[in-house]
């Protein structure tokens, strides 16, 4: 059952208003000849009560739902949606603000949510929700670091009608969102040189493509290159036929993260970003990719496909550089695993060739700017906006 906490917030406007009302009341009580001050005082008190009454009644039937994307990437905008339902049959909702809250209450137990450390506050305004209606507000947030963003509570508040009192309803709503490492746009030549390591891991795929190995023959079709005509077969069969070739595979590649928790955290994150970017690029060209971070005990066996891509990114998102040595993979074992395929080792600190076989290529985190084509994502963190409000359903 969702835990709900309702409360009134007394801010500066409340204090000012109450102070002024009190002053008028005292002045009125002391005045022997001016009844009008009593009227002003009465109106001030009336407005205060109406403010509490309307905002209190308004917030009674409110329900919210957070709709998170499957995953997000650090440095890339992602949208978070909130569905607000007004179950109240009498009172419409006005002037709402939906926002992520850290806790439902001070006494809430459990770990603190991690989203404040990873992204700017999400939320947005809602003008109106009619009786029995549901509206969806979508806001765009840009996580500025990878990790697992956990959400604990969602707060809906409103200063409506007069802004004197602010009423809020906080819903306990636990959720999580994997934020993948920042993906860099790697320079093609560097990526190619890192990923193609001669015979290590080179394979072909039993599919038509533009590789060197023969795949089969077929009839000539308009547009086919004359160079691909198989003249002998044409002469033998009497029909013009052309050669077809197999597609080249990207090969098998291990991406090894040599991360030392003692290194600078920015370098560590940079190393993870390079690893993630290489993995994504490699998978994109059809390679089979495996991921290993021996010191942190992370091993993702070699595989390909979109599911594997998500698995790799998810593993990198949750990678804890300071994971204890008890989980560490033995160095020799790691060397044997990566020896049968191409290998790129990314070092968070100084280059250490001894951690990988001789054929491995090495990259240090400090090289990230040299590797990336246009690292616009590094230019700064975008604040949360809600430019893509959705219409109510």
Partner 1 sequence: MKIHSRFLNSYHLVVALGVLVFAVADENMVYVALAIASIVAARVLASGPNPLFVPRWGLNLVVVLVTVGMGLSWTGNPEDAIPTISRYLVWLQLVKLFERPRPRDQAMTIIMSVMLVVGSSLTSVSAEFGLALLLYIPTLIVTLMLFQLYLGQVDDHGTVRHVVVSGRRPGADMRWLVLGAVVLTFGLSVPVFVAMPRGIGSDSTALGRFAGRPKGNATTGFRDHVQLGSSGLITESTRVVLEMRVTAEPDPHLASGKHYLRGAVLDIYNAEQGRWQAAGHGRNARDEMVQGGASGHRNMGPGEVLGELPRGTTTRLTQEISIHAETVPSLFTVWRPKTIALESERRARVWYDSYRGTFTPVISARSADYRRYTVVSTPYGQDSGREYNQRGWMLRSWSENSRGVSDHVRNRVSQAIDWIAVLRQKDIISLQEFNKFAPAWVHQSEAPDDPTRGANPFIEGPIQELAEQIIADRRIPLDESTRTHEAAARAFETYLQDNYLYTTTMVAPRAGQDPIEMFLFDQELGGRGHCEYFASAVAAMCMSVGIPARVITGYVASEIDAAGQYIVRENHAHAWAEVEVSPGRWVVLDPSPQQDIERLHSGGGSWLAGIRKVFDVFQLAWIRSVVTFDRDEALQSANQNRVMLLTAVNNWVGERLLNETDNGATADRDSIGAAARSFLSIVLVSTLLTSLAYVVVSYGTRAIKPLLGLGAGDDSLKELSPKTRTLMEIHDKMLHVLHKAGLIRQASVPALAFGGQLAERDGVLSEDAQRLTSLYYAARYGREDVDDADLDMARGLLDGIRERLSELESIEPSPPLA
Q: Which of 2, 19, 22, 42 binds partner 1 (CB under 8 A)?
A: 42
Cα–Cα distance, 374 to 241 (Å, whole number) = 45
Handedness of CA 321, 323, 325, 328 (dihedral sign): negative
* Cβ distance to partner 1 smaller for residue 4 or 16: 16
14 binds partner 1 (CB under 8 A): no
Handedness of CA 230, 233, 238, 243 (dihedral sign): negative
Q: What are 172's strand-pairing partners? A: 153
Segment contacting partner 1 (CB under 8 A): 16-24, 214-222, 288-296, 359-367?
A: 16-24
Q: Which of 109, 227, 307, 393 binds partner 1 (CB under 8 A)?
A: 393
Segment contacting partner 1 (CB under 8 A): 40-48, 251-259, 306-314, 322-330?
A: 40-48
Provide the 10 A C-beta neighbour count for residue 330: 9
* Cβ distance to partner 1 smaller for residue 46 or 353: 46
Query: What's the N-to-C CA distance of the chain in angstroms?
Result: 25
CB of 390 to partner 1, least distance (A): 6
61 binds partner 1 (CB under 8 A): no
Residue closest to 115 by CA, chosen among 103, 98, 105: 103
Segment contacting partner 1 (CB under 8 A): 125-133, 252-260, 267-275, 310-318?
A: 125-133
Assign 3-state DSSP to the chain and report helix, strand, coil percentages, each to 5: 35, 35, 35
50 binds partner 1 (CB under 8 A): yes
Q: Which of 124, 147, 290, 294 binds partner 1 (CB under 8 A)?
A: 124
How far is residue 298 from each of residues 100, 251, 269, 278, measured CA to CA in Å? 32, 22, 16, 17
DSSP single-letter state for residue 70: S
Residue 182 C-beta-side C-alpha neighbours within 13 Å: 25
Q: Which two tokens stand for residue 197?
A: 């390591």
* Cβ distance to partner 1 smaller for residue 78 or 197: 78
Cα–Cα distance, 349 to 347 (Å, whole number) = 5
53 binds partner 1 (CB under 8 A): yes
Segment contacting partner 1 (CB under 8 A): 35-43, 228-236, 271-279, 340-348?
A: 35-43
Residue with tokens 């001070």: 106
Cα–Cα distance, 393 to 374 (Å, whole number) = 39
Q: Which of 5, 14, 24, 194 binds partner 1 (CB under 8 A)?
A: 24
Size of residue set near partner 1 by CB under 8 A? 63
Cα–Cα distance, 225 to 221 (Å, whole number) = 9
CB of 117 to partner 1, least distance (A): 25
49 binds partner 1 (CB under 8 A): yes
329-388: contacts with partner 1 (CB under 8 A): 386-387
* Cβ distance to partner 1 smaller for residue 136 or 245: 136
The torsion angles phi and psi of 269, rounded to 5 degrees, stand at -65, -35
Judge whether 317 and 227 are in contact, CB under 8 Å.
Answer: no
CB of 80 to partner 1, least distance (A): 14
Cα–Cα distance, 89 to 81 (Å, whole number) = 24
22 binds partner 1 (CB under 8 A): no
79-108: contacts with partner 1 (CB under 8 A): 86, 91-97
> Helices then strands (H, E): number in the chain?
9, 16
Q: Which of 125, 211, 297, 349 binds partner 1 (CB under 8 A)?
A: 125
Segment contacting partner 1 (CB under 8 A): 158-166, 286-294, 321-329, 374-382?
A: 158-166
Judge whether 278 and 371 are in contact, CB under 8 Å.
Answer: no
* Cβ distance to partner 1 smaller for residue 86 or 277: 86
67 binds partner 1 (CB under 8 A): no
Q: Can you give the binding site for partner 1, defined by CB under 8 A?
A: 16, 20, 23-25, 27-43, 45-47, 49-50, 53-54, 86, 91-97, 124-133, 135-137, 158-163, 386-387, 389-393
């Amino acid at each position: 059952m969702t835990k709900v906490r309702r409360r009134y917030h007394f801010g500066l406007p409340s204090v000012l208003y109450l102070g002024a009302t009190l002053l008028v009341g005292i002045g009125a009580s002391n005045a022997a000849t001016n009844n009008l001050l009593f009227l002003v005082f009465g109106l001030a008190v009336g407005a205060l009560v109406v403010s509490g009454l309307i905002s209190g009644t308004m917030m009674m039937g409110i329900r919210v739902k957070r709709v998170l994307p499957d995953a997000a990437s650090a440095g890339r905008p992602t949208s978070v949606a909130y569905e607000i339902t007004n179950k109240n049959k009498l009172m419409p909702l006005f002037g709402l603000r939906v926002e992520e809250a850290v806790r439902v209450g001070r006494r809430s137990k459990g770990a603190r949510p991690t989203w404040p450390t990873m992204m700017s506050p999400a939320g947005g305004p809602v003008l109106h929700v009619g009786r029995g209606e549901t509206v969806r507000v979508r806001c765009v947030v840009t996580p500025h670091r990878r990790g697992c963003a956990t959400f604990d509570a969602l707060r809906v508040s409103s200063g409506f009608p007069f802004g004197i009192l602010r009423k809020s309803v906080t819903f306990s709503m636990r959720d999580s969102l994997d934020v993948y490492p920042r993906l860099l746009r790697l320079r093609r030549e560097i990526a190619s040189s890192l990923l193609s390591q001669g015979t290590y891991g080179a394979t072909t795929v039993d599919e038509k493509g533009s590789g060197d190995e023969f795949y089969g023959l077929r009839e000539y079709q308009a547009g086919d290159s004359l160079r691909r005509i198989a003249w002998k077969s044409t002469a033998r069969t009497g029909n013009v036929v052309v050669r077809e070739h197999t597609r080249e595979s990207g090969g098998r590649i291990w991406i090894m993260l040599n991360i030392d928790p003692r290194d600078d955290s920015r370098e560590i994150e940079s190393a993870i970003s390079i690893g993630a970017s290489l993995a994504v690029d490699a998978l994109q060209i059809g390679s089979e990719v495996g991921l290993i971070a021996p010191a942190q005990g992370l091993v993702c066996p070699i595989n390909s496909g979109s599911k594997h891509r998500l698995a790799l990114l998810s593993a990198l998102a949750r990678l804890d550089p300071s994971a204890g040595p008890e989980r560490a993979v033995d160095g020799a074992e790691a060397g044997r695993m990566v020896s049968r395929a191409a290998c790129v080792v990314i070092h968070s600190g100084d280059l250490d060739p001894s951690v990988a076989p001789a054929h491995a290529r090495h990259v240090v985190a400090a090289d990230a700017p040299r590797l990336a084509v246009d690292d616009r994502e590094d230019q700064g963190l975008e604040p949360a906006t809600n430019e893509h409000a959705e219409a109510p359903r």
